[in-house]
Structures are given as C-alpha cells and as structure tokens.
Chain A
Amino acid sequence: MKRTFLPALAGAALALSASFAGAATLDTVKQKGFLQCGVNTGLPGFGNPNEKGEWTGFDVDYCRAIASAVFGDPTKVKFTPLDAKERFTALQSGEVDVLIRNTTWTMSRDTSLGLKFAGVNYYDGQGFMVKKSLGVKSVNELSGASICVQSGTDTELNLADYFKSHNMQYNPVVFEKVSEANSAYDSGRCDAYTTDQSGLYATRLQLQKPDDTIVLPEIISKEPLGPVVRQGDDVWFNVVKWTHYALLDAEELGVTQQNADQMKSSDNPDIKRLLGVQGNFGQGIGLSNDWAYKIVKGVGNYGELFEKDLGQSSPLKIQRGENALWNKGGLQYGMPIL
C-alpha cells in the first residue's frame, strides 16, 4: 500500500491540522530559506536526475528561476519527485510550494482542486508512438491496438474520447509509474504509447532501441503545460506568474544570462524596468526590485532554457514551434512590465 501513502497522508493532514497550508507561501518560503518544488520522477528534458543525481530539465529550471527571484540563488530549491497521481495532493497538502511537472491546464483542475495555473510554459498536444515494425502511419490505423498510458493523466481521458469519437477500439494498459509504462512498451506489451508529444520524444530516448519506434504525426488534444500553485494565495501566485513573464520578456528584449550585467546600463526603458534599474516593480510581488535581473542572471531567459533543455543543444531536439515568442510566430507572450 506504499503507493497510496501520499493521498492518505494528505487526508490525515487535512483532518488533523487546525489551520492548514497557511496562505502566505512566499513568507514561509523565505523563512525556510529554500523553495520546495514538485517535479517529474524522471522525464528527460522536463524533470530528470542526471548521472550525478542533479536535477535537470525545463520544468526543473523553472523552479530554479523562482528560487532566483526570491533568493537571488538558483540553487535554493529542493525537489520532490511526483508521479501523475501524487502531484495535486502534494500541492494541496502543502508538501510542495509549487508544482512544475508538465501538468496540463484544464478547467476542472483550475477550478475544483483548489489549485491555480500560473501560466503556460510549454504548449503541447497529445501524440502517439508505435513500433516501426507494425507499419502504422496514422493514429487512425490503431483500432484494436493495446495502448500504454500513465494513470491519473488527462492523457487517459483524451485517449478514450478520441477512440470513441472515431469509432475505434483499443485495449488500455494503465500504469502509475512512467518507468513501468516504459518497460511495458519496450517489452512489447503495448503496440502504442501515448502521452504529451514532448513526453514522447523524451520517453523514446529512454527506450532500448529508440530507432525502432516512430512518433505518429497526429496531435489529438491541446495540452497547455504550466506551473501550478494553491488557490487563495495571490501574492505567491503573482511571484510564479511573473517569473514566467520575466523569462519571456527577457528573451524578447534580448537579455541573456551572459549580458544581463551590461544590459543594466541599457537605454531601453523596457530593459531598465525589467532589470529593476527603473521603477519599483519588485515591491508589488513582495520581492526586491531586481527580481527579474536575478532570474536571468540565475538561469537565463526562456529561449536559453528551451535551447538548453529541449532544443537543439539537448538530446531531444524539439523545435520551438508554438513555443516561439509571439513575434516569431509562436504563442509565448510575456505581459509587459510597466
């Protein structure tokens, strides 16, 4: 019963504590001296411990960005690996301060779980991968297939919807841990594997023979992935939300980890405000005025993170696509700091 431990623990916490998961997360984080961040158990590119046991990935770097904004130090983070089923309970119960774990922004999650999505750090969609030897070219040929999927994801629901609306049959094989789903696909228990397309690219690399598997072209859903916080704590919500915007604005304005110091003397008023040379924007979110400078100095801007963790400098080699900035044909749009 170890696997059901976390929800049970959260239940106990809900039952026992008098005033629960206090509202002022920013204060508790400052007091603790570190950020507790809920991440993947192991998904290359998003949240994955490397050979040395250090956490790497895009979502992990978002955690570091928040730590940089609060402490000016990207290392002041502790990571809690969570599987799909555990993640919301861990956030609700206050075990983590923020959840950044390729989590799809859906209405029910945003409204009835007591949670709030602070933005979309990766626009994704659900896809499928299959063994090449099956000769399958399209999802619509998959009727009758056994399909591996991780439980507690919206992937599970999209899959059922898509097959139903296309009058196709399938046999779901549902796993709780991504590692178990991977081995089952690898061993041939399933004909296909479905998850967010980003996750497919990552998972494919973990297979014994990645080249024997292809990712099918169809995308069957919208999967806006983003950081999540608890409802009812606007200050903390703002910190997370504006960390995301600062990363985007920095990319748009050409402020990088390298040039952040020189940029402080830039004449561009947008850059001046971003880096805290002008205005008191940090105060509004309970941080110092150079909060965004600390973010960029600590981890880089959005484009740099993408390039390092997901893009051409990473094994995943994912295109920017929808995640390009709005003025480069994508959907990523940082609200102005003004």
Chain B
Amino acid sequence: MTIQATSPSAPRVERPARSSFLNDPDKRGYIIQAVLLVLVVAFIWWLGHNTAQNLQRLHIASGFGFLNERAGFNIGQSLIPYSGDRSYGYALLVGIINTIEVAILGIVIATIVGVLVGVGRLSSNWLIRQLATVYVELFRNIPPLLVIFFWYFGVLAVLPNPRDAINLGLGFSLSNRGLFTPKPIFEHGALYVGIAILVGIVAAWALSRWATARQMRTGQQFPSFWAGLAVIVVLGAASFAATGAPLHFDIPVKTRFNLNGGSQLGPELVSLLLALAIYTASFIAEIVRAGILSVSHGQTEAAYSLGLKVGPTMRKIILPQALRVVIPPLTSEYLNLMKNTSLAVAIGFADLVAVGGSILNQTGQSVEVVLIWMLVYLGLSLIMAVLMNWYNRKMALVER
C-alpha cells in the first residue's frame, strides 16, 4: 500500500516501432545474453581443457581415482569410525563432518552470545551496557586467527598435563589434552526410555498448541511450558525406573600418557569453537541491536500500556519484529563463520582443509583437491543460504 502512495504507477509508454532488429532493446538484450553465455561456457571449457593438457604434459597424475585409494594416515578427531586403512574419499568425509560440526556448534554458541550481548547493549543498566559495548569493540577488531592462538597456545596449553589433570569431580577433568567427561553408555532398554521421552515431547507440543488455541478463544492462560516439561520428565523418569536404569557411565582413567575412556573435548575443537563463536557473536550482537532499534519505540510503549512486562514485551513484541531485519545480515555472518572454520589448520584440527591438505600432499593432486574444497564450501554455503532464506520468508511480515 505504501508503495502505491509513493510511486504512482505511470501508464506504460508505447515504444515507437524500431527500424532495425538490432535497435530493439528486448531482442538486443537476448542476443547479448546468449553471446555472453556462449563465451562463459567456452571459457570454462578452455580452462578445463588447458588444465588437463598441462597436467598431462607435466606428467602429473590427474583424475579423481585417488579418492578410492588407501589413505594411510591417521586423523586425530573424527565423529565417525576412521583408520588409516580407509580411503582418501572417506578421510575427506571425516574432514567435512568435522567442518560441519564446528560450523553448527559455532553458529549456535555465537547466536546465543550475540543475542545476549546485542540486547545487553540496549539495556537500561549502565554496567551491562558498558560490558556489552566493550565486548563488541574488543572482539570484532581482533582477527579470529589471533583469538584461536590465544585460546590454544595461551589458555588451554598452560593447563597441566593429563597426569596432573585438574579434577572437577564426577569424573570430569581438565588438562592440556582438553576436557574429559564421563561417557554415558546406554544398555539394553535405553531405547524405551528414548521413546518415552519422545512421546513426552510430542505430548508437550500438543499441549502448547492446545493452550495457545484456548487462549486465542477465551483469553485464559495456561502454564503450558511447565506442564509440558513435567510431562517429559515424568514419562522419562518412570520409564527409566521401569526398565531398571539402563545407563552407566564410562569414567576416564589416567594411563601413562593420556586419560583413557570417557569422552574427550580436545583443545583444538574447544579453542576453534570459542574463537569463532566469540568473534562472530560480536557481529551478531550489532545486527541484533540494529534489529531491535529498527522496531519503533511506539511498539514498546503500546505493549507497556497494555500491561505487558519487560520480558514478554521483548520476547513477544520486539524480537519477532526485529527478526525480519536481522535474518538477512545474520545469514551472511553464519556463512562467514562457516568459511572461517578453515582456520582450523593453524592448530591441527582435522577440518576439511586440513585433511584435504594432507591428501593433496600425499597424492600431489592439487587441482582436484582444490576443486573439492571449493565445491564443498560452495555446497555448504548454498544449503545454509537456502535454509536461511526459507526461514526468512516464513518470518516475513504476513500482511492481512
């Protein structure tokens, strides 16, 4: 509606007939586009052809056959079972999964920290506001690689060696090999507990839908969050007891060199995550702040005058509207974080670039490995962009 007010649609101007085919802007446009397309395709073909010829003339092996060969090297961190007997292709997969792991964890942490700091910058509390400002100004101005080194060589490395690990109790311990935690081992019957919890979640979700619908209809509120939580906990606990507590913990024990057993959160992953999350959070905070400021203050005043408290005003009125402004720049921060995961090589975290680097050197097939790198990052970025665009559209203002 606003658009019409500002730019009244002018009647379409009839173009006089052109004397020549080439003077018709529409047709000319098509021709230019077609010629460009042919040129681009020809250029790409020429690049590929030239590369292949040069490789052949230089006696450098080429092709992607190497992906099936035995890798032969070990990888320090892997979420899937891996040994040197697997293929190069499988080793790359380990690297890709590690990259995705860091990206997802990093995005989650960065978003939480970023939103808190962004809201903090607008807080009415002077101290919180200053702290948030210092955070943003400090971390967005330090290159992330330095922050990684800071954590890895500055903080985590000065922790004691595993033999003198700091015992945090309950089987948790901290050393320069990272954080060791007890590892839950699920026994037979744990599946039923899982199913029970899942049922609980579905029930809680149904409950909250019902509560919302009822509130819409009658205006009555229902504590659906607490009720839902209770359903989940009760179902989980009951089934846990009924199946005879099918869970025990594998506690890490000290051996000559390391701690064995349990789960380990290595210093490489931790410093990379902390650095990327903290760095990206400083940008997200600014985006969130701008988003909140973009919602007119009248909205807050209206909410207050309806009797809403500060918390619900923020959650239910301001943030949902701010989100529309926030999502597009947030997407590019997420993409940045994902690409920055490649800084992992500096501290020996086995991400896509690190593993690819080993393969590149063992096989010498740099052109192929670089191509794979580019395609994987491009693919991951596109997937992320598609997801974020979908979310953006879902969040867009629905005009009634």
Could you say which of A7, A89, A144 contacts B258, with CB atoms under 8 Å apart?
A144
Binds A, one of B202-210, B217-225, B349-357: B349-357
Q: A4–B353 contact, CB under 8 A?
A: yes
B257 at the A/B interface (Cβ < 8 Å)? yes
Q: Do A187 and B158 contact each other (CB < 8 Å), given the known contacts A113-B60, A146-B257, A160-B73?
A: yes
Pick the contact of B47 from A15, A89, A189 — CB < 8 Å? A15
> For B59, B255, B348, B373, which residue has the most chain A Cβ atoms within 10 angstroms?
B348
Contact of B256 among A144, A171, A188 (CB under 8 A): A144
Q: Is A174 an interface residue (CB 8 A)?
A: yes
CA A88 to CA B60, docked complex, whole Å? 11
Contact for A8 among B55, B83, B345, B370, CB less than 8 A = B370
B16 within 8 A of A: no
| B76 contacts A by Cβ under 8 Å | yes
Bound: A88/B365 CA distance, A: 10
Whether A180 contacts B347 by the Cβ 8 Å rule is yes
Q: Quick one: given A3-B353, A113-B364, are A18 and B348 in contact (CB under 8 Å)?
A: no
Partner of B348, one of A112, A113, A152, A173: A173
Q: Mark A89-132, 1 if CB is under 8 A from B, else 0.
A: 10010000000000000001100111000000000000000000
Residues of A near B304 (CB, < 8 A) are: none
Q: List 20 A-B contacts (CB under 8 A).
A: A1-B353, A4-B353, A11-B51, A14-B54, A15-B47, A15-B48, A16-B50, A17-B50, A88-B361, A112-B61, A113-B61, A144-B260, A145-B257, A153-B361, A160-B72, A160-B84, A174-B358, A176-B346, A188-B161, A231-B58
Q: Which of B49-90 touch A at CB < 8 Å?
A: 50-51, 54-55, 57-61, 72-76, 83-84
Q: Which of B7-61 contact A (CB under 8 A)?
A: 47-48, 50-51, 54-55, 57-61
Asked if B350 and A145 sit within 8 Å, CB to CB, the answer is no
Q: B257 contacts which chain A residues (CB < 8 A)? A: 134, 142, 144-146, 191
A331 / chain B contacts, CB cutoff of 8 Å:
none
Cα–Cα, bound, A181→B255 (Å): 24
Cross-chain contact of B73 among A134, A142, A156, A231 (Cβ < 8 A): A156
Closest chain-A Cβ to B369's Cβ sits at a distance in Å of: 7
Alpha-carbon distance A188/B152, docked complex (angstroms): 12
The answer to whether B370 touches A11, judged by C-beta atoms less than 8 angstroms apart, is: yes
CB of A170 within 8 Å of the partner chain: yes
Residues of B within 8 A of A89 (CB): 360, 366
- Find out whether the CB atom of B157 lies under 8 angstroms from the CB atom of A188: yes
Residue B98 is within 8 A (CB to CB) of chain A in the complex: no
Which residue, A1, A161, A170, has most C-beta atoms of chain B within 10 A?
A1
- Residues of chain A lying within 8 A (CB to CB) of residue B357: 3-4, 85, 151-152, 176
Q: Give the Cβ gap from A230 to chain B, nearest Cβ, in Å.
A: 7
Does A81 sit at the interface, judged by CB under 8 A? Answer: no
Measured in the bound complex, the distance between the Cα atoms of B74 and A232 in whole Å is 34
B279-324 residues at the A interface, CB under 8 angstroms: none
Q: Are A173 and B76 in contact, CB atoms less than 8 angstroms apart?
A: yes
Given A7-B366, A92-B58, A161-B72, do A189 and B360 touch, yes or no (CB 8 Å)?
no
- Report if A215 contacts B (CB, 8 A): no
Instruction: Check A152–B361 contact: CB distance below 8 A.
Output: yes
A235 adjacent to chain B (CB < 8 Å): no
B159 to A, closest residue via Cβ: A188
Q: Which residues of chain A are near B59, meaning CB under 8 Å?
A: 114, 231-232
Counting CB contacts under 8 A, is B367 at the interface?
yes
Contact, CB under 8 Å: B354 / A151: yes
Interface digits, A153-190 against B, CB 8 Å rule (1 contact, 0 not)? Answer: 10011011101100000111111110011011001110
Answer yes or no: B212 CB below 8 A from chain A CBs: no
Task: Tell me whether B153 and A85 are in contact (CB under 8 A).
Answer: no
Known: A88-B361, A92-B58, A151-B358. A171 touches B353 (CB 8 A): no
**Does A318 interact with chain B (Cβ within 8 Å)?**
no
- Asked if B360 and A187 make an inter-chain contact with CB atoms under 8 angstroms apart, the answer reads no
Q: A15-B50, A144-B258, A160-B74 are in contact. Are A187 and B153 (CB under 8 A)?
A: yes
Tell me, yes or no, whether B362 is within 8 Å of chain A by CB.
Answer: yes
With beta carbons under 8 angstroms apart, the residue of B51, B255, B362, B373 that contacts A14 is: B51
Q: List B130-178 residues whose CB lies under 8 Å from chain A.
A: 153, 157-158, 161, 176-177
